[in-house]
Structure 1
């Protein structure tokens, strides 16, 4: 229902289109919201996908997703990203995508442990977050617990065998260029 020229919508779409090239096998879209990103990936990669499990904790968003962004390869499920039993409930995945989730969570450690447990060896994690003043510091966003610094974000992925970091300004996603300000970071990591 958003205006197609809405900057926030365009930023979110850009992240999902960025993730398309990594999408194959069994995928988890953790904190999928209204499901448009899962559908983008399902349509673009249907020949190489087993399934997409699209998880969110908001029932209204999932009802909207199932009605407006149905695709036979997508299963929408209501679950909590900070539930320690999530890996036992969902199993393992070739690719895990989680965009704009970290800043909403009070228990980042459980969330990150869940992701690592659910990612198959050799699997790919694609995660983004806005940068801010740091862990435990106030933000201007009413629904954000905090916004990590770039260094805090990068440190989350030390256990992965490969780590690549990209940065986003508006719809542009690129490797970091010196002297440029980037409000969002995107990690692409291989377990």
Structure 2
């Protein structure tokens, strides 16, 4: 009986504390896992079929976090699109609330991307279409389409497809006007 009550109490607390997020855009069939921390949801755009795993942390203060369609985030993913201003003389970092334009930049996660567990994505990163980010990676720079990245800092481990396979994949899933060109996929071999 004790365990039943504790489980019921835990569920009740979750539902009472669960914030009703007001995203800038929210596509169809999106899900947000439990215990997520989402700061400034009005600066976040979700495409269709976006799944955000439990305990994700999304901080978007002055710039946007944009998710494409069919994006999957594993548990404990952190996306922060801004920095603290660290060059103010005479002000302790904890008291410095001033933000400069260069302190923040959009984060864009392309269609069909899969972000593994415990990944950290920092400001200004653009993850291309169809990417896989290995668990525990830290992304500090852009990721080309259809690549698999991992590590700290993240680097390209290999390509998901050859150029021919990527072009075939694009033709099967996207209308002509939305397909990536051969030039945009030229990094694939």
Normalised TM-score (structure 2): 0.24
Normalised TM-score (structure 1): 0.24
Structure number with higher strand proportion: 1
Structure number with higher helix proportion: 1
